[in-house]
Structure 1
């Protein structure tokens, strides 16, 4: 298995960050790694979606878990490997919110695919989380 986690702290309440996560139409406004997101239903467990990247690639994922105001998990199943990314909100040290992205690549091909694909997927996590927090701080 391959794994990576990045987090940031903000003074903003978790509900304000959640608002931007749950509004998938807004993702492209604060995440430069996303051009468009098309959901096949509501923002709830079991809903699939397509995410168009800046290079034109389209990635199909499914929301495997959604706990409103706390976390959501998206999964991309590629057969020999699975990419699972958890987006989590935790109480921050100073009363704010700790925003966490955690990606795991598992499956038969994970030891081969993970070291190459993992860093490519997670390279922008610091920038994405900073942009999300800035957007949430503006309200």
Structure 2
């Protein structure tokens, strides 16, 4: 075996080892993608109603072509979302604490899912803090993190701002 071939095999083996390590780590822990919090004086009921009216989310999330829910807004219900320029993606509502928080899970990458956590919490000013937190988990989560941050780092703040503005206009 030539020296060059040994070097190439060593580099290839090291790269595969790093990729395998990232896949294992991504499978056992959540990877933070983005968190956005906005303060608002909007009514908690209005904030919650905007989240619970799933098909109307296109009013404040302009990147959505449509979003459907195949049942009530509760844990275990599944649906489909279509982002402009992409194929439809299935999702599941995995947790709901009415008027406080909910989480939905999207399986948009092979062997990897993204969880969207949404929370309404009272703040010290008599209003509420509304938070979106996106996390990924699975073998590809660490490998795709730069892409996820690039996409959602710009889109999520805009959607949260639109959501809060709509809630305030209805409160």
SS across alignment from 1:51:
strand
1:115 aligns with 2:153: no
* Partner residue of 2:79 out of 49, 56, 59: 49
Name the CA shift for 1:122/1:48 in 2 (closer, same or farther; >3 Å). Answer: farther
SS across alignment from 2:146:
helix
If you compute each CA radius of gyration, which structure gives the higher value, 1 or 2?
2
SS across alignment from 2:91:
strand
Deviation at 1:56, TM superposition (A): 4.3
How far apart, in 1, do the equivalents of 2:117 and 2:80 lie? 17
Deviation at 1:80, TM superposition (A): 2.2
Deviation at 1:8, TM superposition (A): 0.4
- Which residue matches 2:31? 2
Where in structure 2 are there 5+ consecutive unaligned residues? 1-29
Name the CA shift for 1:122/1:45 in 2 (closer, same or farther; >3 Å). Answer: farther
Count the aligned residue pairs. 139
Q: Which runs of 4+ in 1 moved over 4 A?
A: none
How far apart, in 2, do the equivalents of 1:41 and 1:74 lie? 14
- Which residue matches 2:90? 60
SS across alignment from 1:113:
helix
Counting helix residues as a fraction of each chain, which structure ranks higher?
Answer: 2
* Partner residue of 2:103 out of 73, 77, 92: 73
* Partner residue of 1:26 out of 56, 65, 72: 56
Deviations 1:38-77 (A, max 9, x none): 1111111001111111214212110000111011101123
SS across alignment from 1:114:
helix
